[in-house]
Amino acid sequence: MHEYAVTKSMMEIVLTEAKRANAKKITSINLVIGDLSSIIDESVHMYFDIFSEGTIAEGAKLIFKRVSAKFKCLKCDIEYEKPKTGFECPQCGMTGKLTDSGKEFYIESMEVD
């Protein structure tokens, strides 16, 4: 049910923004979802269909962009994307610390008419 809340707040943001821009219709919404955010695209789609019905966002295309989780190596002071296996720093092999990158969910941009 996590997606219910995030999709609802996403709707509020896009409708407010569209109103401010005097848009008649929202045609597409670009969303950024972190790999670790546990948000399922299909669920967002499903709730979006429900919430957008009868609004200017109805029928808008949702475009999802996935971003990988990032780790920080405290020894080398670098950030790196999670390797395919494990969590080790590519430079020194130490296990890095998980950063907030990868947990995000936000609206990158949207197209309106």
Residues that bind Zn ion (CB under 5 A): 73, 75-76, 89, 91-92
Among residues 63 and 78, whose Cβ is nearest to Zn ion?
78
Among residues 39 and 73, whose Cβ is nearest to Zn ion?
73
Own/partner pairs, 99-103, CB within 8 angstroms, 24+ separation: 99/69, 99/70, 99/71, 99/72, 101/34, 101/67, 101/69, 101/70, 102/34, 102/35, 102/36, 102/37, 102/67, 102/68, 102/69, 102/70, 103/34, 103/36, 103/37, 103/69
Among residues 91 and 109, whose Cβ is nearest to Zn ion?
91
Q: How far is the CB of 101 from Zn ion (least distance, A)?
A: 17
Q: How far is the CB of 75 from Zn ion (least distance, A)?
A: 5
